Chains A and B, each alone.
Chain A
Amino acid sequence: MRALIAPLVLGCTMLITPLALAESPPEPDTTASEAQEDAAEERATQFVGVRGPEAESIPGGALLLAAYAIVWALLFLFLMRMRGLQRQTAEELERLSAEIRASEGR
């Protein structure tokens, strides 16, 4: 029996293998192709070069000006805040010292 099964399996394998390895064109799957089309629509499918002088231009001068303005503005705000804090603390110190002097006088 075993002698009969072994050639049978071998024969089947030899019969199936060329079919399995054959590069047959896949069946057109409509849902997969639609998904591919959607993905393609979402991203650029073509790059077109700019002709003439109309190239993208990021204004370096404006960026530089903005950067330096940010530096000075932040420094100015910090100094203003510190001045306010210093004035507020000095006033509070003055008030507390006066209160202590008044309580000592009592």
Chain B
Amino acid sequence: MSRTPKSGNSTVWSLLFFATLALFAVTLYAIFVLAPVEQQMGIVQKIFYFHVPSAYAMYLGFGVSAVGSAVYLLKRDPRWDALAVAGAEVGTLFCLIVLLTGPLWARKAWGVWWTWDPRLTTTLLAGMIFAAYLALRSMGDAGEVEKRFAAGLALFGLVDLPLIHYSVQRWRGVHPTVITGKGGGLESEMYWALGLSFIAFTGLAALLIWARASVERQKEESARLRLELMHR
């Protein structure tokens, strides 16, 4: 890569970083100051403003991983593989956030930490599929076969994503549906806080994927150099 695009990338990265940071500050203000406390659930409902955008960032990460894997299978370009690994890792991070913050809300709202609701179960399944992907990729320097197999696994994981989203509509579950067509909606301040949080989490997920993919490309480069050194 030439020097100019690298410095250009760095500028874009810095801009995105500071914009995301500023957005998070505004989002926190909107969540805790502007958005009202929910009538029935009380203050615990404010978990929603990080829980839902985390689920969206999870979709983003897993989606990027699946797209990167599909293109890698077609082109065998290691840059797409690096993107797939980055997406899977960031998606798993947000999946973990969703699976840990959800039960904290559920304890208050449903009286239980966990229930085998369709949305909860399919989210857990997606997390397990991409955890298997990461386990496969973490076994030393992945060879071509491991990379292809992992790419297949990411594509399999992609199938689960629409299931998570439509599980609430297709199968009767207990998970709330306030921001879908069937829901009763949110108050305008709540919408603002949620919207800002969505944008902030998009920026955060993009930054993390970008940074992690860059490290993965460095790892690829180091593996290439090691191979070159061995053949000398």
Which among A64, A90, A103 is the interface contact of B44 at CB below 8 angstroms? A64
How far, in whole Å, are A86 and B213 apart by their CA atoms in the complex? Answer: 11
Which among B50, B214, B215, B222 is the interface contact of A68 at CB below 8 angstroms? B50
Q: Which of B104-112, B127-135, B185-193 lies at the binding interface?
A: B104-112
Q: Which of B114-122, B172-180, B224-232 lies at the binding interface?
A: B224-232
Q: Which of B66-74, B94-102, B144-152, B154-162 lies at the binding interface?
A: B94-102
How far, in whole Å, are A68 and B97 apart by their CA atoms in the complex? Answer: 10
- Interface of chain B: mostly helix, strand, loop or mixed: helix
Which among A70, A74, A82, A100 is the interface contact of B215 at CB below 8 angstroms? A82
Q: Give every chain A residue within 8 A of B100 (Cβ-Cβ).
A: 67, 70, 74
How far, in whole Å, are A75 and B200 apart by their CA atoms in the complex? Answer: 14
Q: Give every chain A residue within 8 A of B41 (Cβ-Cβ).
A: 60
Closest Cβ of chain A to B37, distance in Å, is 9
Please classify how large the interface on chain A is, using the bins under 10, 10 to 19, 20 to 34, 35 or more.
Answer: 20 to 34
Which among B96, B211, B229 is the interface contact of A99 at CB below 8 angstroms? B229
How far, in whole Å, are A96 and B229 apart by their CA atoms in the complex? Answer: 8
Task: Give the most central of B46, B54, B108, B222: most A CB within 10 Å.
Answer: B222
Given contacts A66-B104, A71-B101, A99-B229, 18 further A-B contacts (CB under 8 A): A60-B108, A63-B107, A64-B44, A64-B47, A64-B104, A67-B47, A67-B101, A71-B97, A74-B93, A74-B100, A82-B212, A85-B219, A89-B222, A93-B218, A96-B222, A96-B226, A100-B232, A103-B232
Instruction: Give the A-binding residues of B (Cβ under 8 A).
Output: 41-44, 46-47, 50-51, 54, 93, 96-97, 100-101, 104-105, 107-108, 204, 208, 211-212, 214-215, 218-219, 221-222, 225-226, 228-229, 232
